[in-house]
Structure 1
């Protein structure tokens, strides 16, 4: 990942930093979110295709995705900085190794993994490169990074404009809302700038060009893995 960045201010998204005063993202249920339902099948398919066994789930929220992946036979470690989300996850999925950590924290207690999964997290991050720095530290030499985040592309953006849904879509007054909007082009460029190659950029939920989420599979460039 890239050069060091100072810690984000207190108004940064709660799910992403246990080092800032604002930590309450609002987790109050162990039920899976809608995104878990439509992202899980895509993520498990990628993990199986790449022969992954050990997986670090970054920003696991209430642990619903971690629990599902663990039940499918993957060896899951998961981190979540929000205290309430962490407690819900730990209490409802005792077979998963949860840690109360976020992407801005030092993480020497974590090992290395075949895959790092981060589902619907990067769009919340004040400093998204922090997620890739963490991945660079904790991926095996041939490991993969699997991300999902809300998908934006020309046709979908045009539809949102024509139907006057941008204001509702952005939810600017929401604490912990979406502050980064990613397209395939901006994601590919971002990955390259942080030493990762995009192996796959596709989508999940609904159908192209109206995918609900982007699916990203990436790997550290060889010079970054040494």
Structure 2
């Protein structure tokens, strides 16, 4: 019998925002203002809670989970206004937290072992018509060609990072995953650098009504 894959703790040390915050947060905020209804928001993969705190400051009632114990300890100590707990998509999150109007999951999809379960959990957590805002590193033919031409492929697709990126998404593949889970894309942003060489993409989906 094989052992379950170990949970990787990314070793959060403080409550500071991630380096990705500068280009992810404006796109997430714009998507929320343009498309989100209701005030209940769930963050799937909340890390140290810094993004959850910024979302709560927008007026949302925020709950969330992350498998990293170090991150949740920091989050609970610094952002008590948010309900942030250790957890993952491998459990029944709806039984613990209920359903939400909005779900945000940033720079998580590239780490998941089961994309199907990830998308299924997002669908379970959202009410019909609910909004999911996801970000993940952006990939396209042109960007991959540019990385190959500049000798950056080994650095970008490194296999040496413990718990690193194991899925590499394009707009098309992420859209297919979410469509299979009952979502339709309603917004798409490429952020960080110029669009063709964007660092990440921020895709907004609406859960189709039952």
Does the TM-score normalized on the shorter chain lie above 0.5?
Answer: yes
CA distance, structure 2, for counterparts of residue 180 and residue 195 of structure 1: 21
CA distance, structure 1, for counterparts of residue 52 and residue 169 of structure 2: 24
CA distance, structure 2, for counterparts of residue 197 and residue 123 of structure 1: 20
Equivalent of 1:132 in 119, 122, 134: 119
1:85-116 CA-partner distances (Å, limit 9, x unpaired): 11111111111111211111222111211110
Aligned to 1:160: 147
User: What secondary structure, in the 3-state scheme, does the structure 1 residue paired with 2:129 have?
Assistant: strand
1:155-197 CA-partner distances (Å, limit 9, x unpaired): 1111100011111112311111011001111112222222222
CA distance, structure 2, for counterparts of residue 104 and residue 51 of structure 1: 26
1:24-70 CA-partner distances (Å, limit 9, x unpaired): 22222321111122101111111111243211000011111101111
CA distance, structure 2, for counterparts of residue 173 and residue 138 of structure 1: 33
Q: CA deviation at 1:199?
A: 1.6
Aligned to 1:149: 136
Equivalent of 1:95 in 64, 81, 89: 81
Which consecutive unaligned segments of at least 5 residues does structure 1 have?
1-7, 12-20
Instruction: Say if 2:16 and 2:50, in contact at 8 Å, map to a contact too.
Output: yes
Q: CA deviation at 1:220?
A: 2.1
Matches of residues 82-121 of structure 1 in structure 2 within 5 Å?
Answer: 82-107=68-93, 108-121=95-108
Instruction: Say if 1:23 and 1:83, in contact at 8 Å, map to a contact too.
Output: no
Instruction: Say if 2:41 and 2:62, in contact at 8 Å, map to a contact too.
Output: yes
Aligned to 1:73: 59
User: What secondary structure, in the 3-state scheme, does the structure 2 residue paired with 1:144 have?
Assistant: strand
User: What secondary structure, in the 3-state scheme, does the structure 2 residue paired with 1:109 have?
Assistant: helix
Aligned to 2:194: 207
- Cα-Cα RMSD: 1.6
Matches of residues 23-102 of structure 1 in structure 2 within 5 Å?
Answer: 23-52=8-37, 53-102=39-88
Instruction: Name the CA shift for 1:73/1:84 in 2 (closer, same or farther; >3 Å).
Output: same
CA distance, structure 2, for counterparts of residue 51 and residue 149 of structure 1: 20
Q: CA deviation at 1:9?
A: 5.7
The TM-score, its normalising length taken from structure 1, stands at: 0.86
